[in-house]
Structure 1
Amino acid sequence: MKIPIAKALFNSHSYLEYRKLIADLLLEKKSTGNEQSEDLTHYSELNETRMNRLDKTIKITDETTSKLKALNGEYIWLIISEGWCGDAAQLLPIMNKMAVESGKIELRIVLRDENEELMNLFLTNNKKAIPIVIFLDKETGSALGKWGPRPQAAVELVADYKKEFGVIDETLKTNLQLWYLHDKGITTQKELVGAMLELDAYKER
């Protein structure tokens, strides 16, 4: 196990612990992360509302559940996140329910700004994009792969907008949230299940 992964796991949170951490900080009008601003606190408040809603409404498909239960190995999903991140707020409730349904996956969450060494091992286009899911073998602690920071269709939506308008602005953020709303977590489930089946098959060779 790489030292940054071991350190991160030691300092990691369960999903419920992560939710409580964000909620407690919001009572102090703060967000997670090194930087504090009214904007980041505002995004954290929006995300708290989103996650509360998604925890109640998100559905894991029967197909997803049966495929996850059929995994041969046991795994940890180590997720790099922050409370102000809009993508994380949309994705973490799905990932948490998938892990619970599977019986084979333990979900652990770490904060990006507190785990810079780990984040630097899993950059996206040399940027600290989050959320990132690191797939770990539970038995050995070794990293088998990663996923993130968002489903491929959402990646393309952002790339196309930036190509046309040259910026990430509130319109793009709204478009992205609408994409998540209409998708209902289906694409995320399919991509994560596909990644796990591939890793599980490789592990069994």
Structure 2
Amino acid sequence: VQAGVFKNVAIVGGGSVAKLGMKFAGNLKHNMPITEDQLGAIAIVIGENDGKSPVIRLDAIGKHDIAAGSSAQAIYKKLIVEPLERIGMGILDIDKFAVELHNPDITEPNGNGNVPRNNYRTIAGMAVLRGEMDKSKMDSYEDKYGMPGFSPTQGHIPSAIPFLIHARQMIMKGEIKNSMFVGKGSMFLGKMTDLSDGMSFIIEKNNSRKS
């Protein structure tokens, strides 16, 4: 779109019936209702800069190459720290981080824990190590800069993007000025290959920046 090849591009992705069926066992084991009861899908339209809608920072795209390693520190260095450093920003300069937004009501009964919370604690830990935040504020980091997991858990569906429409609305209302979306490679595939990859991007308030 920025290059002028197309005026509008639609990105469409769907969940998986097979993945939908993988999640009910934990609920039944704990005598809970089946919470993974919908097939997730996403559609996004990226268009030309209209002077008012939030814009994507093309100078701060994060890319985690497989060769960079699969530790949490290596992943977040590539996806968060390095893109922010390129534009002179720190971790606390991002108002909201969207990470893996799996609904913990689905993942915890299956033994996978609270995935978003674990991600936010890792980001907070990196902010502490970088001297951007005091360790005493780690427990409150999720409340201020993150959000509870709310997404269906099928494949790529929960990977940050479900927050996009909410981020757009919050930016348009002036509630936040920016948001960073961090998508990591599939945990399932990662367990099979011991490899990881991912991408990240920032959207921000439109200040007539042609991005």
Question: TM-score, normalization: structure 2?
Answer: 0.27
Structure with the bigger percentage of strand: 2
The higher radius of gyration belongs to 2
Question: TM-score, normalization: structure 1?
Answer: 0.27
